[in-house]
Amino acid sequence: MEREELRIGIGFDSHPLISGRRLILGGVDIPYDKGLSGWSDADVASHAIIDALCGAGDLGDIGTLFPSQGPEYKDISSLALLSDTGELLRARGFKIVNIDVTIIAQGPKLSPFVPEMRKRLSQALGVESTQVTIKATTSNGLGFIGRGEGIAALAVALIKR
């Protein structure tokens, strides 16, 4: 009888907020006067999930899989990168058990967008939306997040083979 192998990974990402960019979080375009600066769409939630899955599946990290400054990744949707990561995991015989994400932002208020984020992230990974949880919090005015200079996200992923 073959034993089930469970593996866990953690991911983190942060990007500065700038004028003139759309704010994309969890694959959702959020109405806001600033967006996240980055080579891709700078979706910190998706990036944190990718790193968590990479850690769990021994895939390196997001920068190894999708190098910044690579012309093919300029302004790419992070959902496409997330989908590719899910494919790499499946090719190694892994299935996603669950993903838990916390987005840390002083603004905007994100709770109205959480259901759509769950839907888009789970679709990109080919899992049920109940396997992806998202929480949003502030930093209570502390640090670069509290000053409205950026947004960060933490993610944990559990996979099995």
Structural domains of the chain, ranges and CATH numbers in brackets: 6-160 (3.30.1330.50)
Q: Within 10 Å of residue 66's Cβ, how many Cβ atoms? A: 20
As beta bridge partners, residue 137 has 104
Contact 36, 15 (CB under 8 A): yes
Closest Cα partner for 119 from 153, 79, 75? Answer: 79
Peptide bond into 71 cis (omega under 30): no
The pLDDT tens digits for 78-95 are 999 999 999 999 999 999
Contact 26, 71 (CB under 8 A): no
Q: Within 10 Å of residue 25's Cβ, how many Cβ atoms? A: 29
The pLDDT tens digits for 116-146 are 999 999 999 999 999 999 999 999 999 999 9
Q: Is the pTM of this model over 0.75?
A: yes
Q: Is 26 left (phi over 0), alpha (psi -120 to 50) or beta?
A: left
Contact 81, 54 (CB under 8 A): no
The pLDDT tens digits for 57-72 are 999 999 999 988 878 8
Question: Which sign, positive or negative, has the C-alpha torsion 65, 70, 103, 127?
Answer: negative
